[in-house]
Amino acid sequence: MTHFTRRDVFKISAGGVAVASGMVAMPSILRAATYPSRPINVIVPFATGGYNDRLSRAFMPYLEQELGQPLVIVNKPGAGTQLGNSYALNQPADGYSILCTSAAPYIPLTVLLQNAPYKVEDFSMINLPSRDYTLAATSSGGPVQTFAEVLEKLKKDPSSLSIGVQPASADYANMVLAFQAAGIDASKLRIVTYDGGGPARNATAGAQVDVGFVGGEGFLPLKSKVRPLAIFAAEKVDWYPDAPLIGATLKTDFVEGSQRGWAVSTKLKNEQPEIFKILVAAVEKASKNPKAIETLKLQELATTWYGPDASNKAYLDNAAKMAKYVDLLK
Amino acid sequence: MIDVSAFNDALGIMFTSVGSWGWIVPGLIVGLVFSAIPGISITMAMAIVLPMSLYMDFFSAIVFLTSVYTGAGFGGSVPAILMNIPGSPSSFATTFDGYAMSQKGEHNEALGYALFASTLCGIAGYVLLLLVIEPLADIVLRIGPVEMFAVAIWGMMLLGSLGSTYISRGLLAAALGILLGTVGMNTAGFTRGTLGLPVLLDGIAPIPAMIGLLAASQLLSLASRDYIIEAEGSREVSLRKILKGCWGTLKYPGVLLRGSIIGIIIGAVPGVGSSIGNLIAYAETKRTAKDSATFGKGNPKGVIAAESAVASGEGGSMATMLALGIPGGGATAILIAAFMMHNIVPGPSFIETQKPMVYAIILNNIVQAIVLLAVGIGFIYVASNIMKVRTRYVLPAILVIATLGTFAVTGEAAGPITLFVFALLGYALNRYQYPVSAVVVGILLGRMLETEFLRSYQLSGGNPLYVLERPGAMAIFAVMFISLAMTAWGKRKQNRAEAAEALAMRQIQEETRAAHTTPSKG
């Protein structure tokens, strides 16, 4: 049996306090030196099974390999990513919570249309490998053959074709911009709204609507059931090469579609630059791992490395364009 | 039709990967247990096990997940029958007659009926799927908003068979349910009734709301008793009686067939899910039955109708998923994710290039349904022992489990809070004799009614004659009205006969009274 004198107890507790206060006051360099020392949460603001969930799970083993710590995927779906985004910002900025999300257009949209309690600049991108574009398509058996035909018909009679689209989305903005550029009376269009890309795609493939404006990537499994009319991208899209570019038919401004990938809070980037660097390096290495590229490609998931600067720029450009055209979305 | 050489290859896959069969029983048990817990739906049960399946090879993972799906399709009916609390929304209609049966001491038989209906129609659904997977998928894609609106209206007709003392209160309760069902952002992007709370943007979570409404009234009424069933002699758990119920199911082939057809078609339609098929199958069976007055009072046909639609809906939902790569409901969305995580993208090209694999998956589901029969009997046998436990132990346990269930999946307090608020609402509704089940039907169907009506309006540009361009919708409405008219005609004939009988009775009474009274007055 050991006997503690009062002095010993004082010494021990004083030491404890000193250690504890040392930890609190530990400079960020020191914290970064031990980072990561425990599992890291990956917050996915979508339900299990969506693109971001699949991306995070497929990429997980390669990122774990670089970071040397296990990753835990936390699905926080709801309110167009607003719940998950708020949750992510409420976590301590210590590098143990990172986001895998469709940063654009969801973050700008929640800010512009839902008065979300954060700013677009509160999030900093690490890498956004997946870039989606709005695709105007029709059912493969449908009578319409080209986008020019669509514009011509609608110019004559705006109610001659029905249009399927998700409201308050990049696709919606692109649809309105294209019709404005073509001089079509938008007030008489028969627009059918769908609460998600999936239902809008089904309606297009099933010829329930004549033309659908939806993110193109989701059409890939249904490729044989639809005819692509125009894709809202500046250059040929490598995952849908047979989709004609919008620029070929019509001169119009457009918004890029979903940009999905890895992000953190800007607070972390500013307060813990060392940790941010470690995360960036790990994502870069994992993205360039040939095995990761091969595995993710088989699952139709993107691994392209753009880096934090290019990704952030793409994200902020998208946000600025969304803000510019916000009146079209309401 | 069926491709014989692919079918033979499928048998080959089945027997060369015998190791994956070992996942059937664990999968079924996981599905049964999770879905029997009030507050955890089939989708959630599958979401929980999805990450686990990543570490298996492809066929094993699919066997495991579909087994969970098969088990979960039945598990929800166990608390529905024993305690009047549906384990998941798809077993809501099972409570109507299932609980009434168990109150009569026929819980063993009721569970037997439910299990056999579930297994038989599960098999029927998959056999049909094996034959018509491709044509079915094409038809499903053509079902548009007008057709869906007709289906939703059909579902609402269930309200007529719920039976409440006051018609006005029933309608008011249904209206309240629909109103609650439309909270959140609608399909056109307008936000209603969220009180500024971001969690309500996606609407009121139907599962905690339903459990709150139903469980509150039910648990409070149980609290006054010592045991769930008062008569001591009825509390036994009898394998013989369970088997008797199983066997008894075969006496109602018509009910099984109707339930299966409704289940398959509704299950196959993308985005509807399994929680509506059971309502329609129940309502249709009740309306067309000769003994419709005994529905809701423990008629086995009610249990069979509801369960058959749930089980066969699974096959329909799988058809859409395999053939088109489109999820019919939440559970198949998880399955698609599992496919993709194993580098396989379901859809038209998958079914063309990998037909043997598609057949093998379907065949394996048939095997699962057969295994479910054995595992299910064991599960029922164990679960029924809850009847022998005093309510003072059962009720707090159920409350805690239900609360945890609504919390666990998202890890947000929103679930338990919804549960609590709706429990209070359920208590108030019960206190003033408003039918709680009408509110639940409204919540389950409200969103679909609004969404499909709005889309029909948008598509037609406001022209009601548009419905004439949709033969499918006209057919659904026609079947609905003919069936209604025939019921009304039958009721009228019955009422007339009863009235005539009553008149005759009164005349006889009056004559005898006259014979008695006249002399005494004089």
Q: Model ipTM?
A: 0.77
For residue A36, say if its preceding peptide bond is cis, omega within 30 degrees of 0: yes
Least CB–CB distance from B341: residue in A58, A83, A199 = A58
HSE-up of residue B23 (Cα within 13 Å, Cβ side): 25
Q: What is the DSSP letter of A42?
A: E
Q: Which of B54, B191, B337 sits opposite A49 (nearest CB)?
A: B337
Which domains does chain A carry?
Answer: 28-132+259-329 (3.40.190.150), 134-248 (3.40.190.10)
Domain that holds residue B506: 470-512
Asked if A109 reaches chain B (Cβ–Cβ under 8 Å), the answer is no
B328 and B179 within one domain: yes
Q: Which residues contact B327 (CB under 8 A, 6 or more apart)?
A: A198, B270, B271, B317, B320, B321, B333, B335, B336
Q: Please, which residues 141-160 of chain A have a Cβ atom closer than 8 Å to chain B? A: 159
* Contacting A residues, span 34-53, partner chain B, CB-CB under 8 Å: 47-50, 53
Confidence check: pLDDT of A26 > 60: no
In this structure, are B27 and B120 located in the same domain? yes
Judgement on whether residues B388 and B489 belong to the same structural domain of the protein = no
Instruction: Judge whether residue A242 has pLDDT over 60.
Output: yes
- pLDDT above 80 (res B113): yes
With contacts defined as CB-CB under 8 Å, which chain B residues touch A76?
410-412
Residue A290 — pLDDT band, cuts 50, 70, 90?
A: very high
Give yes or no: residues B492 and B453 share one domain. no
A260-273 average pLDDT score: 91
B520 in a structural domain: no
Q: List the single residue in A with minimal CA-CA distance to B272.
A: A199
Q: Tell me if B396 is assigned to some domain.
A: yes
Q: Which residue of A has its CA nearest to B352?
A: A224
Within this chain, do residues B446 and B300 fall inside the same structural domain, yes or no? Answer: yes
Per residue in B314-344, pLDDT tens? 888 888 888 877 777 778 888 888 887 787 7
For residue range B252-276, list pLDDT tens digits in order: 999 999 999 888 888 888 767 667 8
The residue type at A201: R
Answer yes or no: do B191 and B223 share one domain: yes
Contacts of B143 in chain A (CB under 8 A): 206
B453 and B482 in a single domain? The answer is: no
Q: Does the residue B372 lie in any domain?
A: yes
A86 contacts B187? CB cut-off 8 A = no
Are B142 and A207 within 8 A, CB to CB? Answer: yes
Q: Scanning every residue of chain B, which has its alpha carbon at the shortest distance from the alpha carbon of A200?
A: B187
- DSSP 8-state symbol, A46: S
Mean pLDDT for chain B?
A: 84
Mark yes or no for CB contact B325/A221 under 8 Å: yes
Examine the domain organization and report whether B354 and B499 are in the same domain: no
Chain A residues near residue B186 by CB distance under 8 angstroms: 195
In this structure, the answer to whether residues B431 and B493 fall within a common structural domain is no
pLDDT tier at A21, thresholds 50, 70, 90? very low
Question: Which amino acid makes up residue A150?
Answer: V
* CB atoms closer than 10 angstroms to residue A17: 10
- Quick one: pLDDT at residue A25? 45
Task: Give yes or no: residues B432 and B485 share one domain.
Answer: no
Grouping H, G, I as helix, E, B as strand and the rest as coil, residue B110 is: helix
Give yes or no for residue A16 having a pLDDT over 80.
no
Contacts of B58 in chain A (CB under 8 A): none
Number of structural domains (chain B) is 2
Q: Is residue B518 part of a domain?
A: no
Contact B202 A162 (CB under 8 A): no
Q: Is residue B441 domain-shared with residue B476, that is, in the same domain? A: no
State yes or no: pLDDT of A211 exceeds 80: yes
pLDDT at residue A23 greater than cutoff 70: no
- CA A139/CA A133 separation, integer angstroms: 18
Nearest CA in chain A to B138: A206
Identify whether B517 is part of a domain.
Answer: no
Instruction: Tell me which residue in B50, B141, B201 faces A79 most closely, judged by beta carbons.
Output: B201
Report the residue count for chain B.
522
Mutate to test the interface with B, among A86, A193, A297 (most CBs of B within 10 A): A193
Section B287-293 average pLDDT:
81
Query: Which of A202, A210, A211, A220 should we substitute to test contact with B (largest number of B Cβ atoms within 10 Å)?
Result: A202
Mean pLDDT on B277-281: 88
B508's enclosing H/E stretch is: helix B471-521
**Is the predicted pLDDT of residue B521 greater than 50, yes or no?**
no
B442-457: per-residue pLDDT in tens?
Answer: 888 888 888 889 999 9
A101 touches chain B (CB under 8 A): no
Give the tens place of pLDDT for each residue, A159-208.
Answer: 899 999 988 788 888 999 999 999 998 888 999 998 778 888 888 988 88
State the pLDDT confidence band at A146, using cuts at 50, 70 and 90.
very high
Tell me, yes or no, whether B503 and B474 share the same domain: yes
User: Cβ of A5 under 8 Å from any chain B Cβ?
Assistant: no
Q: How many CB pairs under 8 A join A and B?
A: 129
Chain B contact set for A48 (CB, 8 A): 47, 50, 334, 337
Q: Best interface-test mutation with A: which of B48, B136, B141 has the largest number of A CBs within 10 A? A: B141
What confidence tier does A14 reach under pLDDT thresholds 50, 70, 90?
A: low
For residue B519, being part of any structural domain is answered with no
> What is the rounded average pLDDT of the residues A276-287?
91
Instruction: Tell me the per-residue pLDDT of B173-226, one tens digit each, with 9 for 90 and over.
Output: 989 999 998 998 888 878 888 888 878 888 888 888 888 888 877 877 787 788
Residue B356 within a domain? yes
Mean per-residue pLDDT, A125-137: 92
> What are the CA-CA distances from residue B506 to residues B501, B512, B515 (Å)?
9, 10, 14
Q: What is the reported pLDDT for A31?
A: 62
pLDDT digits (tens, 9 = 90+) for B65-81: 999 999 988 998 999 99
The answer to whether position B521 is within a domain reads: no
pLDDT in tens, A97-130: 999 999 988 899 889 888 888 998 999 999 999 8
Shortest CA gap A27–chain B (Å):
33
3-state secondary structure of B53: helix
